[in-house]
Chains A and B, each alone.
Chain A
Amino acid sequence: MPDTVVFEAREILTLDRRRLSATHVAVRDGKILGVGSLDDVAGWGGYTLDRRFRDHILTPGFVEGHAHMMTGGIWRYTYVGHMDRTDPKGRLWKAALSTPELLARLSEAQGGLGADEPLIAWGLDPLFLPGDRLSRWELDTVSSTRPIAIFHSNGHLLTVNSATLAAVGFDASAEAKGVLKRSDGEPNGELQEFAAMMPVFRKLRIDIEGAADRPLTHRTYGEAARLTGVTTIADLGRSLADADVDELLRFTAADDCPIRLATMLMAHSRPTPELIADALRYRALSTDRLRLGGVKIIADGSIQGYTARMRWPGYYKGVDHGIWNIAPAQLDEQIDALNAVGIQIHVHTNGDEATDAALDAFEKALAKAPHRDHRHTLQHCQLADKAQFRRIKALGLCVNLFSNHLYYFGDKHYELTVGPDRAERMNAAATALANGVPLAIHSDTPVTPLGPLTTAWCAVNRLSESGRVLGAAERISAQEALHAITLGAAYTLKMDDKVGSIEIGKHADFAVLEESPLAVAPEALKDIVVAGTVSGGRPMLQSTL
């Protein structure tokens, strides 16, 4: 007789409409054997009753459908952002709200470093630091000899001290456009874009991706997920080599692995024929804990960076630097080629013109090869209007909206990038649902912090950081948001048959919460404490690091 464990909880939110609420779930072989009352599930034979969750709420383990493995690497460096954040070890990093606070944080971090180690930090956004813009000269007060480098939160800028500039040889004669200068011609310590940042990466051996120690990076990623109730997480866009796949297989096969991973291949990593061959080859290697075979295409840039492709009337204030990362004609060809062989495609489109280009490409490709269950998905899709959602529905596409933007960048969108009208329709979750479009919502961690309950809070409340309501008409209910962060996201990853709800036959993956997302006030969703997860029937309540 196989072992059966029956978990008792204060309430189990199943997301199965036949029995939305239950108190007991029986687990055998890591899968759900039955859900209901103790009587309902006791009939399967002998069991052990586990009452550790009797004061907790169980929901389906959260599914984060757009996230990046870099989250597992970045916390090796000091966080200096303007919002509180919790690292994968559960340590709370308080916000640095002023330049003196930031410098104090750096000085403190310096204490833990060896004599020759550079000091690397991340999360800086100078717009949120009152006073003069942070420059090399302030950082020199922390150390004039130790190289210091701070990543900005947008990932496109680095602020460094004089020791770092000297180490890479940037002085008044530097010609690179990315080496920003003061009026007297001296570099001010800001390095813009990858070209100017790369010499620093190499000289200081900065490894923001955590590539040097993949096993640790993977475990840290898993832990970041576990802490926020996530049991299935995307790794959305990697230029995978076979060795990387081996490492992912090893990681996910480990007994204490807390997550299921959906890793997608970055389309621009190889020529299309190789891309197709590798996607199909990797797909065949998929396991219960590692889903491979999808492909991610990046169509345009970002709205806050003014590099998203916008339709008329374009950006509200500021200069349009819209870029295609793939020409529309190439997008047509690539989507056609991938769709023809049944490979699932996720396309990053931020601006509404990029969304149009993706829709055109899918329309043509699907007319030729109409896979009924393709699950092609538009990622971000932040500015889609109603007509575009109707096309999305007609083409059978899914959307994974970037709801966290409403809070983290919403004020900038309202005031600067897209203006009031379009800020209010950004990440239009209610319109998606009204049109019957399969909906997920995401954090894009590390762009914004991982935490599906916070993402749900964003979609339900649509509050910006300053407290402005951005489009009350696009708010969705807590029930709808809970669906979007579980079954909805699982659907976009083609994993809804295995995870996303608490139903017989599915993996026993649960989020363990202190409060019910359906019982608290909508504005309190993000404050619900996550006690841990259950993954494949194993309670994961302690750090796995």
Chain B
Amino acid sequence: MTGPIPTTVIGGFLGAGKTTLVNHLLRHAGGRRITVLVNDFGELAIDQDLIEARDGDTLSLANGCACCSTGGDLALALNRMIEGENPPDHLLIEASGVADPDALADFARADPGLKLSGIVVLMDQGDITALLNDRRIGAQVARQIASADLLLLNKSDRDAPPGLPARLRSLAPRAAFLIVERAVLPTDLVLGDLAPRGRWRADPVLPRRHEDDFVRWAYTSDTPMPRNKLTAALTGLPTGLVRLKGFVALIDDDMVEVQAGWDWREIRPATSYGTDDRTRLVAIGLSPSFDGTSLDRLFSHDC
């Protein structure tokens, strides 16, 4: 028996780019076996070149991922998957265009077989304002946005009306907020643990065309560092930072857990760092302002 399956809910109104994001994540699964449950009555619009086999409502992908329509019965599909022989490394629930992502996330919160990683809500810059102003569906779209841990605004040909970021921010004050193009962004960013809610905040960053624009940085050190050095490093984080997290071993002090985003930093006593008492940090940011060398310099203190 393995642990609960990490679960990410992907929501957003019709045409927001949910399927584009799902395809992107499947294409860049990075060795993860992802299962997508599509809780919608649309067709399974998975890129043809990814599909290896089709069996009824289930598509098998060459990289070990799978995509399955729930036929309107998410509970049944979840039951099958949780009780199945070969649970995936990660579960994506693609909500229907009218679904409340938070209600779907509750399945992951409630079920011992699942663990909620977060709620990603997409919007299309071209129509989100009209949708929010729509008498009939505006409230439902606003509820979707409010449920987000990570809010992705897909750029379109049409310019965003002024004030849109502020309006979205007020609807989802706790969410991280990124502007993207064709839903291109790192898989580990989307599937990573988006909690704790209200901690990961970033201002909108410029759209990127390629996943290559995102830079990953990882750092391990056996040498504990002084606390003031850590504080200084966090203060000097580069502007392209999207997210940083990990554990830092301090001199003459307990291990601490560190989290940071665009405009926030957090240090707190580490509770679950296991038996590894080294400093371990990972971060994602956008080139060129974010680069690994400058981060190495900030955190290394041997010399």
Which residues of A are in contact with B by a Cβ distance under 8 Å?
Answer: 168-170, 174-179, 193-196, 198-199, 201-202, 239, 266-273, 275, 309, 320, 322-330, 353, 357
Contact = CB atoms under 8 A, between A and B. Distances in A.
B98 A198 contact: no
Nearest to A329: B14
B110 A323 contact: no
A197 to B, nearest CB: 8
A271 B42 contact: yes
Contacts of A194: 74-75, 107
Interface stretch (B46-54, B135-143, B218-226, B286-294): B135-143
A270 B104 CA distance: 19
Contact of A328 (B73, B79, B106, B136): B136
Nearest to B43: A271
Nearest to B82: A202
Interface string B117-138: 0000000000000000000110
Interface string B140-157: 100000000000000000
B110 A196 contact: yes
Interface in B34-86: 41-43, 69, 71-75, 78-79, 82-83
25 contacts: A175-B116, A176-B109, A176-B110, A178-B106, A195-B107, A195-B110, A198-B110, A198-B111, A202-B79, A202-B82, A239-B71, A239-B73, A268-B72, A269-B41, A269-B72, A271-B41, A275-B41, A320-B139, A324-B136, A324-B137, A324-B140, A327-B13, A327-B137, A328-B136, A330-B97
B110 A199 contact: yes
Contacts of A170: 110
Contacts of A326: 98
A265 to B, nearest CB: 11
Contact of A269 (B71, B75, B110): B71
Contact of B72 (A266, A322, A323): A266
Given A178-B106, A195-B107, 12 more contacts: A175-B116, A195-B109, A198-B110, A239-B72, A266-B72, A267-B41, A269-B71, A271-B41, A324-B98, A327-B14, A328-B136, A357-B136
Choose among B110, B112, B136 the residue with the greatest number of A CB atoms under 10 Å from its CB: B110
B58 to A, nearest CB: 14
Contacts, number: 88
Contacts of B72: 239, 266, 268-269
A321 to B, nearest CB: 9
A174 B106 CA distance: 11
Contacts of B106: 176-178, 193, 195-196
Contacts of B139: 320, 322
B257 interface: no
B98 A327 contact: yes
Contacts of A168: 112
A343 B32 CA distance: 43
A169 B79 CA distance: 17
Contacts of A179: 110
Interface residues of B, number: 32
Given A323-B98, A327-B98, A357-B136, A198 B75 contact: yes
Nearest to A323: B140
Nearest to A312: B135
Contact of A325 (B13, B43, B98, B116): B98
Contacts of B78: 198
A250 B277 CA distance: 66
Nearest to B78: A198
A179 B140 CA distance: 23
A270 B38 CA distance: 11
A169 B13 CA distance: 34
B82 to A, nearest CB: 8
Task: Name, among A195, A323, A325, the residue most crowded by chain B CB atoms within 10 Å (CB to CB).
Answer: A195
Between B43, B71, B72, B100, the greatest number of chain A beta carbons within 10 A of the residue's beta carbon is seen for: B72
A60 B243 CA distance: 71
A202 B84 CA distance: 13
A91 B43 CA distance: 46
B6 to A, nearest CB: 14
Interface centre among A266, A323, A327, by most chain B C-beta atoms within 10 angstroms, is A327
Contacts of B82: 202
A199 B111 contact: yes
B110 A174 contact: yes
Contact of B109 (A177, A268, A275, A357): A177
Interface in B231-268: none
A400 B73 CA distance: 26
B103 interface: yes
A179 B107 CA distance: 11
A330 B14 contact: yes
B148 to A, nearest CB: 15
A310 to B, nearest CB: 11
B94 interface: no
Contact of B97 (A201, A266, A272, A327): A327
A272 B41 CA distance: 7
A323 B102 CA distance: 14
